[in-house]
Amino acid sequence: MAGKIVINEELCKGCALCVEFCPRDLIKPTRRLNAKGYYVVIFDPDGGECTACTLCAVICPEVSIEVYRE
């Protein structure tokens, strides 16, 4: 089942735990800052297919990630 990851960049604090835990390496750190001055992460769908495992959402301490099954 394919998934889609939505990241609320204003809640993200750039800890990159989601980057480490994504088994498909679909979440990437960026050099883009949010309004609070944190470097945010982005979902890169070009890196492959998300399996909607929700590991990224579960590990996020700021609850800034939502995963949808398509």
Q: What is the full per-residue pLDDT of the chain (70 aa) written as tens digits?
A: 699 999 999 999 999 999 999 999 999 999 999 999 999 999 998 989 999 999 999 999 999 999 999 8
Q: Which amino acid is at 55?
A: L
- How many structural domains is the chain composed of? 1
Q: What is the pLDDT of residue 70?
A: 84
CATH number at residue 65: 3.30.70.20
Helix (H) or strand (E) holding 21: helix 17-21
Model-level pTM? 0.91
Which two three-digit tokens encode residue 7? 């990241």
Domain limits for position 61: 3-69
